[in-house]
């Protein structure tokens, strides 16, 4: 079955592979002599391993080896000083509960799983704290890390404003939980040649990390990651368990496959960090903001530091002369966090966009009107014009589609039997990033075009977007174009993160297509052909089976002259049951303002997916820890509630779809983050509008709705 | 890795038991061969032999005769033994639906079914849904409505969707959503999945 069955050029180029089960994810490669790794994890939260008994496991049927700090399998980079203290199998220290302490390698998955249960550890325990609220409360006297404070105008100006609010917002730990379990297949062969099949958002990043740890040349390492079963940020780094699997393969001289369990997805591959934020807003009675203060504490680990852009949005999203922000991170005895979709900006937007709604209420203004009144003409933080911003139009479209005129400004006004109805709005914004990437284009005399770049597709439809960019430029039908990715031997591209792939790699696709066209034009001229001659005829006339060009592309000086962002407006209608406190999202309208829409079908899906993620963030998602033991207690899909089909109403997506004149040749900006950023606040604002209850702690569960406040 | 350490631990006792029981059985059959094999530390292979039990089943209309450890799930059997990797492992606990297959025409979480429980049964996986190069209407509808992003939950969604239509649970969007809620999609393609199912249930999509 071939992929060339596109009925519509906007269908996903890999759609047939995905609906027939032919798409191969990392764990699905068959290697001769494949063995299976299963991890043993710490049952204490902090301290040291005193004994580790691996004898029984070593003797169990099918077991080839047991790796741990006792045998320190060779990894030269770990033998040097520096780096993270959590060097897997090179330390006896325990930094968090569920930390991998050994790996059993056996000839079947079942045998490795059984043998792993035979490994016994004893520990010297130490006092620990996994409670972020407590850590923040206890942190007053400690010197903390974070990001530089920001100040524009008068600090804490909100305190002296005509109308002011000051509120605190809580966000729990969330876990990415892509459907595909994390892991890797490592195949270490003689002469230090290594092939890995990885679940990664960046094949080049994985290649570089492994080269660093094992001190082998980059060229010796082949990283394959063609299909990735979701990432949402968790596959933006090469995790210790992946390094452990490479160690294992080197150690046993066989290919080793590791697929971690769903429970282990909560402890080994990061999370969205918990956050406690305080927002102070001041406005005059006419509804103009006069002061914004945003202070945030973010969770980090004791063994590695993690920071993200929680307070970014407050600096530029609203017209205001006086803004100050502060962001610090506070360590707890848990695994290190990592960016999760929307990352810190989504955390910050929950607080800021809730507070904006609170201020509108305090002013007795329509929150939409209040937002429009404080919409900035310029980026006051960078003192630059925006490259492209159509927020007012987006507000207008969204308001009309959700039926905003049905909304009553007085909370609790719309009651039908036991259901209270409310409407909420919020804005999302994220830096329109553009990095540097290379793309190779191979234009063939059979009429086809192959494009290659070491980028990734964790789901947004990278290959589809790139194909459509090339198809439009080259006037070649989409089904004659192949975009190859997920292979470290291809021309370099950055990791898929920060909503930058379309802008970054798409620009290189653009440039390579332009170069191919001009080469064809030259060849045509040289062979006395018409300048508009078809490239197939030109190549044939010149006896060329194909031509190849590699182009590197990156942003230029335009980024110094303009402030570049993608925006989204989320409108939500909710029904809240007055007896049970259950919130049901009844309707969603998301409007994307992110330049040209290159791939309409996949772009719409990305916005839909962000809204679904936003419903989870708003209403159900919370990784809960029993702080007595430092363990997650809802570390599975039955207890950690991601939205299911029945939680999601119909979702309307609209795009402004106007090119950003400065960002890149396509005029297109990323959307992965803005699809989610701000969404949770729209839900919280709708819940307030429905019930008069302001919930400042996510997720908005029925107990919080029903509690006396 | 072989050991004659008398200090039995859990692994040793289990293995010793297997060795003894396999030997008792084997002695009755071919004493000299079995004893020789055990002495030459080949007991592992004997243990392996006696740990497995026979299994006959049909997967995608193809009969399979094998012997398998009883602890192997249908999911792991499909993926690791038959290399039918279209069926996905998302949780191994029956909580996500990524491993959904049809057993005798009904949808089943293959991670909650041991392979040996499927003796004599007919299993259909995503690989068996299309008719050669001709996609099943549900597969075509998923492409048309973009009922997926990363694609990992997709085979399970499609197997559930086909069953959902066969079961007649397609009278409304909300009924479809309810009967598709055993299949999690973290990319959030739910509305598109419902659109695809509605189209197929109305018989509008031809592969």
Digit-coded pLDDT (tens) for A639-673: 999 999 999 999 999 999 999 999 999 999 999 99
Which residue segment(s) compose the domain that A255 sits in?
33-126+178-261
Residues A444, A519 share a domain: yes
Question: Largest Cα–Cα distance of chain A, in whole Å?
Answer: 84
> A179 vs B3: CB contact, 8 Å cut-off?
no
Residues A457, A354 share a domain: no
Report the chain B residue with the minimal C-alpha distance to residue A259: B89
Phi and psi, residue A122, nearest 5°: -120, 155
- Residues of chain B found within 8 Å of residue A459, distances taken between Cβ atoms: 149-151, 187
What CATH number should be reported for the domain holding residue A470? Answer: 3.30.365.10
Q: How far apart are CA A445 and CA A440, in angstroms?
A: 17
* β-bridge pairing A120-125 and A163-171: unpaired
Predicted local confidence at residue A143, as pLDDT:
74
Both tokens assigned to B118: 């499927």
A25 inside domain: no
Residues A118, A79 share a domain: yes
In which element (H, E) is residue A625 found?
strand A625-626
Interface test with B, best of A51, A58, A61 (most B CBs within 10 A): A61
In this predicted structure, the answer to whether residue B125 has a pLDDT above a threshold of 60 is yes
SS (H, E, C) B30-80: CHHHHHHHHHCCCHHHHHHHHHCEEEEEEECCEEEEEEECCCCEHHHHHHH
Q: pLDDT band for position B27 (50/70/90)?
A: very low
Residues A585, A540 share a domain: no
Residue with tokens 């620009």: A507
- Dump pLDDT digits (tens) for A273-300: 999 999 999 999 999 999 999 999 999 9
Q: How far apart are CA A589 and CA A568, in angstroms?
A: 10
Comparing CB atoms, the residue among A56, A181, A231 nearest residue B12 is A56
CA triplet A252, A255, A260: central angle to 5 degrees?
100
Predicted local confidence at residue A162, as pLDDT:
98
- Dump pLDDT digits (tens) for B149-184: 999 999 999 999 999 999 999 999 999 999 999 999
> A642 vs B1: CB contact, 8 Å cut-off?
no
In which element (H, E) is residue A36 found?
strand A35-41
Predicted local confidence at residue B17, as pLDDT:
46
User: In the listed set A197, A228, A261, which residue is the last one of a domain according to the structure?
Assistant: A261
Predicted local confidence at residue A151, as pLDDT:
98
Predicted local confidence at residue B199, as pLDDT:
97
Predicted local confidence at residue B33, as pLDDT:
52
DSSP state of B81: I
Cβ(A424)–Cβ(A398) under 8 Å?
no
What CATH number should be reported for the domain holding residue A104? Answer: 3.90.1170.50
Residue with tokens 């284009």: A441
Residues A568, A424 share a domain: yes
* CB neighbourhood size of A446 (10 A): 10
Predicted local confidence at residue B4, as pLDDT:
39
Residues in CB range of A422: below 8 A, 6 or more apart: A407, A411, A414, A573, A574, A576, A685, A686, A687, A688, A689, A690, A691
**B residues 43-102 near A, CB within 8 Å?**
44, 47-48, 51, 69, 71-72, 76, 79-80, 83-93, 95-96, 98
CA distances from A169 to A274, A275, A582 (A): 11, 8, 21
In this predicted structure, the answer to whether residue B15 has a pLDDT above a threshold of 70 is no
Comparing CB atoms, the residue among A20, A58, A602 nearest residue B146 is A602
Dihedral of CA atoms A554, A557, A560, A562 in degrees, nearest 10, equals -80
A652 inside domain: yes
Question: Could you list the active site residues of A?
Answer: 673
In this predicted structure, the answer to whether residue B3 has a pLDDT above a threshold of 50 is no
**B190-201 and A600-619 are packed helices; what angle lies between their axes, rounded to 10 degrees?**
120
- Residues of chain B found within 8 Å of residue A257, distances taken between Cβ atoms: none
CA distances from A218 to A208, A289, A437, A488 (A): 7, 53, 18, 10
State which residues of chain A have pLDDT below 70: 1-6, 141, 709
A17 inside domain: no
Look at chain A and report how many structural domains it folds into. 3
Residues A634, A702 share a domain: yes
Comparing CB atoms, the residue among B44, B93, B190 nearest residue A648 is B190
Q: How far apart are CA B190 and CA B197, in angstroms?
A: 11
> B11 vs A601: CB contact, 8 Å cut-off?
no
Cβ(B83)–Cβ(A172) under 8 Å?
no
Predicted local confidence at residue A141, as pLDDT:
67
CA distances from A55 to A103, A258, B74 (A): 13, 21, 31
Strand partners for A450: A442, A482
- How would you list the strands of the sheet with A100-106, edge to edge? A63-68, A100-106, A35-41, A256-259, A183-189, A193-198, A221-224
A18 inside domain: no
User: In the listed set A491, A525, A554, which residue is the last one of a domain according to the structure?
Assistant: A554
Residues A644, A604 share a domain: yes
**CA-based nearest residue to A164, from A363, A312, A324, A317:** A363
Residues A401, A303 share a domain: yes
Beta-strand ranges (E) seen in A77-131 are: 93-94, 100-106, 120-125
A613 inside domain: yes
Comparing CB atoms, the residue among B125, B144, B177 nearest residue A7 is B144
Predicted local confidence at residue B23, as pLDDT:
46
| DSSP-assigned letters across all residues of A351-371 | HHHHHHHHHHHHTT--HHHHH
Residues A349, A214 share a domain: no
> B184 vs A259: CB contact, 8 Å cut-off?
no
- Residues of chain B found within 8 Å of residue A342, distances taken between Cβ atoms: none
> A19 vs B93: CB contact, 8 Å cut-off?
no
User: In the listed set A554, A576, A604, which residue is the last one of a domain according to the structure?
Assistant: A554
> A59 vs B1: CB contact, 8 Å cut-off?
yes
Q: How far apart are CA A588 and CA A651, in angstroms?
A: 5
Q: Look at chain A and count its residues.
A: 709
Predicted local confidence at residue B2, as pLDDT:
39
Interface test with A, best of B99, B188, B200, B204 (most A CBs within 10 A): B188
CA distances from A541 to A474, A475, A535, A675 (A): 19, 20, 10, 49
Q: Is B193 on the interface with A (CB under 8 A)?
A: yes
A401 inside domain: yes
Both tokens assigned to A566: 């993608």
* β-bridge pairing B53-59 and B122-124: parallel
pTM for the model: 0.94
- Residues of chain B found within 8 Å of residue A638, distances taken between Cβ atoms: 93, 95
Residues A376, A521 share a domain: no
A218 inside domain: yes
Residues A676, A659 share a domain: yes
**B residues 146-175 near A, CB within 8 Å?**
146, 148-155, 158, 173-174
3-state SS assignment for residue A470: helix
The count of CB pairs under 8 A between chains A and B is: 219
- Dump pLDDT digits (tens) for A1-30: 444 456 788 999 999 999 999 999 999 999
A2 inside domain: no
Both tokens assigned to A34: 């494949």
Residues A468, A332 share a domain: no
Cβ(A156)–Cβ(A280) under 8 Å?
yes
């Amino acid at each position: 079955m071939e992929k060339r069955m596109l009925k519509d050029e906007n269908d996903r180029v890999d759609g047939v592979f995905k609906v027939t089960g032919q798409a191969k994810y990392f764990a699905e490669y068959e290697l001769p002599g494949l063995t299976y790794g299963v991890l043993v994890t710490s049952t204490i939260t902090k301290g040291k391993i005193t004994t580790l008994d691996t004898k029984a496991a070593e003797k169990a049927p099918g077991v080839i080896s047991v790796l741990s700090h006792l045998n320190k399998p060779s990894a030269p980079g770990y033998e040097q000083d520096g780096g993270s203290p959590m060097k897997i199998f090179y330390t006896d220290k325990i930094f968090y509960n569920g930390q991998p302490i050994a790996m059993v390698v056996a000839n079947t998955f079942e045998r490795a799983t059984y043998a792993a249960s035979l490994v016994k550890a004893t520990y010297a325990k130490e006092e620990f704290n996994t409670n972020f609220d407590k850590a923040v409360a206890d942190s007053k006297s400690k010197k903390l890390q974070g990001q530089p404070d920001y100040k524009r105008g008068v600090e804490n100006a909100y305190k002296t404003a005509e109308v002011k609010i000051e509120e605190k917002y809580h966000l729990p730990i969330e876990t990415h939980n892509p459907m595909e379990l994390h892991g890797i297949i490592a195949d270490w062969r003689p002469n230090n040649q290594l092939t890995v099949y990885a679940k990664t958002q960046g094949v080049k990043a994985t290649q570089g990390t492994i080269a660093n740890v094992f001190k082998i040349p980059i060229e010796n390492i082949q990283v394959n990651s063609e299909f990735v079963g979701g990432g949402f940020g968790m596959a933006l780094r090469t995790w210790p368990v992946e390094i452990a699997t490479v160690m294992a393969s080197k150690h046993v001289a066989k290919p080793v496959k590791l697929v971690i369990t769903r429970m282990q997805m909560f402890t080994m591959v990061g999370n969205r960090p918990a956050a406690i934020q305080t927002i102070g807003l001041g406005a005059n009675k006419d509804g103009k903001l006069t002061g914004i203060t945003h202070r945030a504490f973010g969770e980090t680990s004791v063994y590695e530091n993690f920071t993200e852009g929680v307070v970014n949005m407050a600096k530029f999203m609203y017209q205001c002369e006086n803004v100050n922000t502060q962001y610090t991170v506070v360590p707890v005895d848990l695994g290190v966090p990592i960016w999760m979709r929307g990352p810190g900006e989504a955390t910050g937007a929950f607080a800021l966009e809730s507070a904006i709604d609170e201020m509108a209420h305090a002013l007795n203004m329509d929150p939409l009107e209040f937002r429009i009144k404080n919409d900035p003409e310029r980026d006051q933080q960078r003192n630059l014009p925006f490259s492209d911003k159509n927020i007012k139009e987006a507000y207008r479209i969204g308001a009309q589609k959700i039926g905003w005129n049905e909304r009553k400004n007085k909370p609790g006004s719309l009651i039908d039997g036991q259901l209270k109805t409310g409407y909420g709005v919020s804005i999302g914004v994220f830096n329109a990033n553009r990095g540097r990437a290379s793309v190779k284009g191979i234009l063939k005399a059979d009429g086809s075009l192959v494009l290659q770049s070491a980028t990734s597709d964790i789901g947004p439809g990278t290959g589809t977007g790139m194909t459509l960019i090339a198809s439009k430029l080259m006037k070649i039908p989409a089904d004659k174009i192949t975009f190859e990715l997920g292979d470290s031997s291809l021309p370099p591209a950055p990791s898929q993160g920060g909503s930058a792939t379309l802008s970054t790699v798409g620009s290189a696709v653009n440039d390579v297509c332009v170069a191919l066209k001009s080469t064809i034009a030259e060849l045509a001229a040289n062979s006395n052909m018409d300048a508009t001659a078809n490239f197939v005829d030109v190549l044939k006339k010149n006896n060329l089976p194909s031509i190849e060009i590699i182009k590197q592309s990156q942003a230029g000086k335009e980024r110094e002259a303009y402030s570049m962002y993608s925006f989204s407006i989320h409108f939500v209608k909710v029904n809240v049951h007055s007896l049970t406190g259950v919130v049901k999202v009844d309707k969603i309208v998301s409007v994307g303002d992110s330049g040209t829409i290159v791939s309409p079908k996949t772009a719409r899906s990305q916005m839909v997916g962000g809204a679904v993620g936003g419903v989870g963030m708003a209403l159900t998602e919370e990784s809960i820890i029993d702080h007595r033991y430092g363990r997650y207690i809802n570390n599975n899909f039955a207890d950690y509630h991601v939205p299911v089909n029945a939680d999601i109403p119909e979702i309307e997506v609209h795009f402004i779809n106007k090119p950003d004149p400065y960002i890149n040749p396509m005029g297109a900006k990323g959307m992965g983050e803005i699809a989610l950023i701000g969404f949770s606040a729209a839900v919280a604002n709708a819940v307030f509008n429905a019930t008069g209850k302001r919930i400042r702690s996510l997720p908005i569960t029925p107990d919080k709705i029903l509690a006396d406040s | 890795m072989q050991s004659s350490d008398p200090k039995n631990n859990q692994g040793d006792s289990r293995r010793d038991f297997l060795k003894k029981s396999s030997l008792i059985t084997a002695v009755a059959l071919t004493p000299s061969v079995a004893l020789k094999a055990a002495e030459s530390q080949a007991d592992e292979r004997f243990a392996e032999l006696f740990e497995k039990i026979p299994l006959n089943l049909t997967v995608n209309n193809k009969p399979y005769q094998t012997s398998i450890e009883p602890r192997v799930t249908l999911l792991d059997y499909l993926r690791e033994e038959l290399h039918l990797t279209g069926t996905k492992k998302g949780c191994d606990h029956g909580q996500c639906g990524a491993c959904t297959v049809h057993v005798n025409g009904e949808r089943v979480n293959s991670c909650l079914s041991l392979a040996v429980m499927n003796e004599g049964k007919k299993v259909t996986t995503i690989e068996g849904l299309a008719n050669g190069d001709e996609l099943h209407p549900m597969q075509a509808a998923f492409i048309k409505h973009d009922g997926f992003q990363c694609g990992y939950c997709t085979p399970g969604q499609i197997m559930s969707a086909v069953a959902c239509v066969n079961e007649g649970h397609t009278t409304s969007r909300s009924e479809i959503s309810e009967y598709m809620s055993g299949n999690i999609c973290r990319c959030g393609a739910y509305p598109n999945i419902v659109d695809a199912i509605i189209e197929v249930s109305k018989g509008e999509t031809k592969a």
